[in-house]
Structure 1
Amino acid sequence: MSSSVNMFKEHPTLFTDYDSGEIAATADYLEAAVQPGGLLRQMLVYPMVDCKIKLNGSAKEIHLPAEVWTPIGVAAESFNIKTASGTGTVHWQGWYR
């Protein structure tokens, strides 16, 4: 195999698997954090309402605007999500090696 092909196989943006899901979110964080099938390297989140997300058990929140695919480029083993108010559906997908 040529060295350029080997370099491509090891490139940090090459992903070999993905996970995705849908969450029925409320104004309280989920009782148990979502744990995808692997360490997510990149993630897209599409909330139907304004939401906040926490990654890897952190206390820090990231705001997610309603009806916008928001990219998250932080490696995530788990995440937790809540709406700004009320209830709503959140779609997510993430890629890992």
Structure 2
Amino acid sequence: YLGLSYLTKADWNNVDDISLAKYYLQKTLDIDSENQMLGDAMLLNIYQALADINEYYDDFNSAIDYRTRALDICENNEWTDESTEIKENIQAKKLYIIETEQSKT
């Protein structure tokens, strides 16, 4: 929860808050992988938050990876509204990556 609190208070101009949010969110996932304490809804929020942070840092491949994990949770729980939104976001990021790479050539 500490990671989400840093992200909530972050004004997205304070790199320290965003870095701390990323650190604590990742640490939460590490702990959960050993203990499986968090439910799917919380994991979904964490994956979405980490995706947002990676997009902020222009690391779109990592953002897509986290969104894909979030999508898996949504599909396993049949959360169709969230699934649709995440799929659209993933497709938009993939298209952005392709367009960016093409503009470099």
Question: Is TM-score (shorter-chain normalized) higher than 0.5?
Answer: no
Bigger Cα Rg: 1
**TM superposition score normalised by structure 2:** 0.23
**TM superposition score normalised by structure 1:** 0.24
